[in-house]
Amino acid sequence: MATVHLTSDNFEAEVLKSKIPVIVDFWANWCPPCKMMGPVLEELSGDKKYQNKLKFGKLDTEEAPEIAGKYGIVSIPSFLLFKNGGIKAQIVGAMPKDAFAKKIDEALKK
């Protein structure tokens, strides 16, 4: 499962109304740490342990600043875990894949 490109038009349907939890990567093209996290998200989105259990999405804060603003995103990369339309966890900053996966796993248990 690849990451979903999120926009103002599909955010509600893909994230807020999703039947499974969604991790949203708030990023921008000019942000080097954001670019470092891109391959990490792609790898994790293909991991069998998340299949049908977690959706991965990317939202470019330059394309949808109103959504980033609504959720108080002031530092990128930032990741919000949504479940049933609400925020369950926030992860901020770039990190290695294993550390990021551990934070996601902890957040999913909440």
Q: pLDDT tens for residues 82-109?
A: 999 999 999 999 999 999 999 999 999 8
Residue 1 has pLDDT above 80, yes or no: no
Catalytic annotation, residues: 31, 34
Domains, the chain, ordered by start: 4-109 (3.40.30.10)
Q: Please, which pLDDT band fits residue 24 given cuts at 50, 70 and 90?
A: very high
Q: What's this model's pTM, rounded to 2 decimal places?
A: 0.95
Residue 73 has pLDDT above 80, yes or no: yes
Nearest one of 100, 41, 105, 30 to 63, comparing CA atoms: 30
